[in-house]
Amino acid sequence: MKAKLLLFVFLLPFIVHSQDTLINTSTSWKYNDKGLNLGTTWYGTTYSDATWSSGVAPLGYGITGLASSVSFGTNSAAKYPTTYFRKTVAITNPSSKYTRITLNVKRDDGVVVYINGTERYRNNMPIGIISYSTYASTCASDNGSIWQSVDLSNSYFINGNNVIAIEVHQCNATSSDLYFTAQLIGSKSIGSFESITPAVQTQNFVIPSTD
């Protein structure tokens, strides 16, 4: 019995925490920093971001440690209130492969996140309709240094290409900095492990008997 319990204790953490990194923190994002009000079409799955710029995260301005810089405009006393980011990520069978998909995001100051054209998360933003001119609820005291995390339903994602669209909002027109990076993690269930032998898997966790 002791051998069975020890085997379970050692295996369980590995099983629970098996993960795939679907978007890493230093990936490339398409971004629009032109100070344009893009309305509601920009986060849709059929929207073309071919003319947008590309840059490796973290992206922003006014903060050390950035991999790519974005523009705030020509007037430091009237910086653009919103900068737009998009990324397409291919995910295989998310509804059966992952028990949950976790989004981690660092933002200065506020963010709204859309998955395949639907808002799924907002942080440090007011309630109600968000527009290009909406400012973040507060000026983020952490300057984007702290991860904001949310577990997303695997039903938000499809088998194939998924569009992740994120808008970053400043807290006011004179805010000195902007920061953005994100990470997407898929957490696997026991049944998602790929066995060498036997080839057919089940949802059952079997511990062999011992003396």
Least confident segment among 1-5, 32-36, 101-105? 1-5
Q: Is the pLDDT of residue 4 over 60?
A: no
125-139 burial, b if ≥16 CB within 10 A, otherwise e? beeeebebebbbbeb
For residues 122-126, average pLDDT: 98
* 8 A C-beta contact, residue 110 and residue 168: yes
Q: Is the pLDDT of residue 75 over 70?
A: yes
pLDDT at 106: 98
Q: What is the pTM of this model?
A: 0.82
**Within the chain, where are the H helices?**
2-16, 94-97
Residue 155 three-state SS: helix
Q: Is the pLDDT of residue 147 over 80?
A: yes
Beta bridge partners of 166: 85, 113
Percentage of the chain lying above the pLDDT 70 cut:
81
**DSSP classification of residue 191:** G
pLDDT at 126: 98
AA letter at 97? K
Dig out the tokens for 39 from the structure.
């309305």
Query: How many residues in the chain?
Result: 211
Residue 43's pLDDT band (boundaries 50, 70, 90)? very high
For residues 40-58, average pLDDT: 98
pLDDT at 18: 87
Could you read off the pLDDT of 158-196 as tens digits, one per residue? 999 999 999 999 999 999 999 999 999 999 865 544 555
User: What's the whole-number average pLDDT of the chain?
Assistant: 88
